[in-house]
Amino acid sequence: MIETLLAAVPQAAYRGPERRSTPSLPARWLSMMLDEVDYGMLLLNEDAVLVHANHTARAELDETHPLQVLGRQLRARHAVDVARLHDALAGASLRGLRRLIVLGDGDGRVNLSVIPLPDHATLVVLGKRRLSERLSVQCFARGHGLTPAETRVLESLCEGLTPREIAELNGVGLATVRTQIGSVRAKTQAANIRELVRQVAVLPPMVNAIKA
């Protein structure tokens, strides 16, 4: 589905009739590479038809997301967002304009980057709905020797919860959570909670290997 992106990639010499019916190796690699990115990415052609969606995008576009795919058309779920999305896609495809737009409201708000590509194609990058993926946090925790309880505290901090909220969520005392945060900071050499969360925020993506 993404062969059109590979025109500039040198192709191997023809090796037999099997290559006529299977995707080229660079195309497969590119598709696999996009599936390891923890930002949702949607590729649209010049007619705004969806050509490719990576694994993260397919997982993100559930019934609560302000974007939806109808047939092979990318559409805003809510009427108030229709004109904003249409203008951004048309601006990218027809005038080469980059846009950052916001769709949805309340807790369902999502930022989108709309990026023009050659041949009037458009790349739509979905903003993250959480600061970091759970798998990335868990790998970070294992790498620093955090206990399961400390890992849960770290995950909660990355979700924006306060120490008091974490204590209430886990049914423990505030002093216990503060002790756990102190232990996490010591193990990760973070000067404060802000620095601790920043360490997680800049982690490279770790996408679940089990993909639907």
Digit-coded pLDDT (tens) for 39-60 = 899 999 998 899 999 988 998 8
On whether the CB atoms of residues 138 and 150 are closer than 8 A, the answer is no
Domain around 122: 37-126
At 3 the pLDDT is 44
Model confidence pLDDT, tens digit, residues 109-168 = 899 999 999 999 999 999 876 655 677 888 899 999 999 999 999 999 988 899 999 999
3-state DSSP call for residue 77?
coil
Last residue of one domain, picked from the residues 90, 109, 126: 126
Domain contains 98: yes
Last residue of one domain, picked from the residues 67, 97, 126: 126
Q: Give 207's contacts (C-beta < 8 A, 6+ positions apart).
A: 35, 36, 37, 38, 55, 56, 133, 135
Closest to 144 in 3D by CA, of 189, 208, 180: 189
Are 144 and 169 within one domain?
yes
Model confidence pLDDT, tens digit, residues 184-198 = 999 999 999 999 999
Are 109 and 140 within one domain?
no
Closest to 58 in 3D by CA, of 1, 115, 131, 120: 1
Q: What's the total number of domains in the chain?
A: 2
Report H helices in the chain.
25-35, 55-60, 79-95, 134-143, 148-158, 163-170, 174-188, 193-201
Residues in the chain: 212
Average pLDDT, whole number, for the chain?
A: 84
Are 81 and 141 within one domain?
no
Last residue of one domain, picked from the residues 103, 126, 149: 126
C-alpha to C-alpha distance for 112 and 44, rounded to whole angstroms: 14
C-alpha to C-alpha distance for 154 and 184, rounded to whole angstroms: 8
CA-based end-to-end distance of the chain: 18
Closest to 184 in 3D by CA, of 156, 133, 147, 135: 147
In the predicted model, is pLDDT for residue 23 greater than 80? no
Domain contains 28: no
Band of residue 108 on the pLDDT scale cut at 50, 70, 90: confident
CA 87, 80, 56, 211 dihedral sign is negative
Q: Give 156's contacts (C-beta < 8 A, 6+ positions apart).
A: 165, 166, 169
Structure tokens at 44: 């649209």
